[in-house]
Structure 1
């Protein structure tokens, strides 16, 4: 996307360098990276970054509207509603596809968003290692909003810890040491001091929660929540007994679980912006589009691309018994934007925001990127391919 940087990177790339980089990357956390790391970062200039941020800020304006809570109340499943919702999510992520418009120009198009954490720790560690093995211009960084490594980690710690000591804050997940993103958990632990706790390890006494730290019971006052109810429900039978986190518990949430639903695919039909594809609640469409092949059908309450219908036909619509839980989103034209030795790759860029409790609005902080040569972005859709997988976007400062 920055032709001269792309040419220079590709010309100097060797498989030997890539293997040395991977060995270095894995050495810090052996056996913890359970996904493919791409051969290359993405390079983006100031103009393209500004386009993505313009769309993000427009969505944030909508979130700040007084009408937003009522408009998104239906997004939260009744059985998954958690009490004591906070007035804001401390973390928001926006996924943009790098696309081609009708004029053949590159532009971002919003694919999804989430009021939920992503790889806020790993995206510090991984680019640090990348720079040790490949030449990245000093004026290109993974950070946004004026952040650098030190100021970003300072604010990340403050967002996660709040007013508490690190031992009073936990990262809560389902079997955290088995998750594909566990490398991010370990990085987060090392950068902030918070411990990883499985939902099955919570100890409840009345409204208070505890966990065992070095064999002693430790009070939990704040939870960095990584539990997704979709995953929890899928694994419920194998987990045995565990604390029901939808109870009235005496803990703070970062972010509160309800925001996973409020800022999500559910929100897309509420947004109008040139870089947000037209999206409709399926149950509110008076008439289906004439050319369904130009749309993607998505379930509102699924995760990681599960249940998405890319090549939509009338029969797919007719099979749906709960149209209120589905959206129809206009397809975007992903650009074959990154030249690689065995054919071009597509990419998505995730812009990640932080939102301290005393800030009026969130701030862009860091990013990740993913490269794909398949129909969908994501490791599971790109098996046995090269120059695909998890990456980072170095943005012109």
Structure 2
């Protein structure tokens, strides 16, 4: 019984940390692409329910701690992309396309391998560019609303040192208190706090598919599903990726008309349910991920309250909390982007184009950053060095020229 309680508590912690640490990012992303208050609350509820049901299904079926989460980098992508032609209906269509692409990646293993084959510097740099603007929001908040932002940042900084897992949730609690103290009671009472379901008829436009649907698919695969599998493998679990991609892809497509953008394997919180802290016996840790799934469904019932608080606060304050939640992801993305000297310049180009936020031909910066980085890699692909000249093969001048051509320049 004690061990069972340990797994249940680990699952509840997984759900609480996963929800509290990034729901502000999700709401900010949905609002950025045109969702109104009801659509944003519905999207948060749809995500919680779909990822909770998928986590329960996969955990019970596979008897493995397969944690499911929403795509936090995908939500950050929505913020950086902003409104697309056709409004939230077009964004909903892009969400469906992304979900179907994830499903196809499960049905066609070659597609999943192609995504995994995207050069790490380019993929990581694109993610870093997507996250950048949100991660500088705490700095802007300290300048624009210092009395509200300073306690939030200070709480996060102190707990990052002593209780890192709870740093972002604690900062969120401080943010809620700051919002409550600076908002009239009538503002919260006037809001609809009940669980909201709002159906949005999807519209399909080429710019939205290219600038939002395709990058959302790539970011979700490269930044969530692939690392999520790596985390599980690190704890000795190797679930079938095909079933996971099909389940999460279909769940994403079904939840999209209700406002959800994407669900996928958990990457950050996966360790909470898969580690020995969840249960000493690896074959019993699936109880933690199933409990987390149930917890997400319950937390989704509070989506109306969460949305109301977010909408009553200054936008920069919500983005500041989201930015604090994503600082670790930004650091990891930058480190991976510049780790390989051969791809460093291409990574920088990818990052700059993505972070610029430019829109060309109706297509957002994330796509163009990926294209620019790939082109840079192609341009920088060096020819194999020529074999060294043998003694006596050529005259002195010719040998000097040959050596100069064969020896790569040192930086």
TM band (smaller chain): under 0.3
Q: TM-score, normalized by length of structure 2?
A: 0.23
Specify the structure having the higher radius of gyration (Cα): 2
More helix by share: 2
Question: Relative contact order (alpha carbons < 8 A, sep ≥ 6): 1 or 2 greater?
Answer: 2
Report the TM-score when normalising by structure 1: 0.24
